[in-house]
Amino acid sequence: MVYDNIGVRDRKYTLDEVFPDSVTNKEVYAGTLQPLIECVRTGFNVTCFAYGMTGAGKTHTMFGSDSEPGIANLAIDDLFVASSDGISVSFLEIYNEQVKDLLRSS
């Protein structure tokens, strides 16, 4: 239920996939971004969008750790393996209405 200033409205959402909290980043990658790597390699644009509350695990899912790489790291690895063509890649973070380029230090 969603409450607004007029009353209560029911909203329905359609989700492609829902992962339990026990799933690994590799499993999330396999179910979301990995099937799109061939699309990127052949010239299509792909966007991977992580959305959720602060502390929900978006950063860990996207970037992971040394022992469990995130889906962004896994995608970059697959892109390098899949293609020797010139591919343009950008990683942006939008937080509190501020855009940050994650591939630049400045």
Burial label, 61 (beta-carbon count in 10 A; 0-12, 13-18, 19+): buried
Instruction: Specify if 48 maps to a domain.
Output: yes
Give the model confidence (pLDDT) of 32-64 as tens digits.
999 998 888 888 888 888 888 889 888 999 999
Work out the average pLDDT over 72-86. 81
Instruction: Specify if 53 maps to a domain.
Output: yes
Instruction: Specify if 10 maps to a domain.
Output: no
Mean pLDDT of the chain: 83
Instruction: Specify if 16 maps to a domain.
Output: no
Instruction: Specify if 93 maps to a domain.
Output: yes
Gyration radius (Cα) of the chain, Å: 17
84 lies in which domain range?
22-101
For 84, the token pair is: 């020797």
* Residue 10: φ, ψ to 5°: -85, 135
Instruction: Specify if 71 maps to a domain.
Output: yes
State the total domains in the chain. Answer: 1
Residue 17's pLDDT band (cuts 50, 70, 90): confident
Give the pLDDT score at 83: 65
Instruction: Specify if 79 maps to a domain.
Output: yes
DSSP secondary structure code for residue 7 in this structure:
-
Rounded (10°) CA dihedral 56, 100, 83, 28: 0
Give the pLDDT score at 2: 52
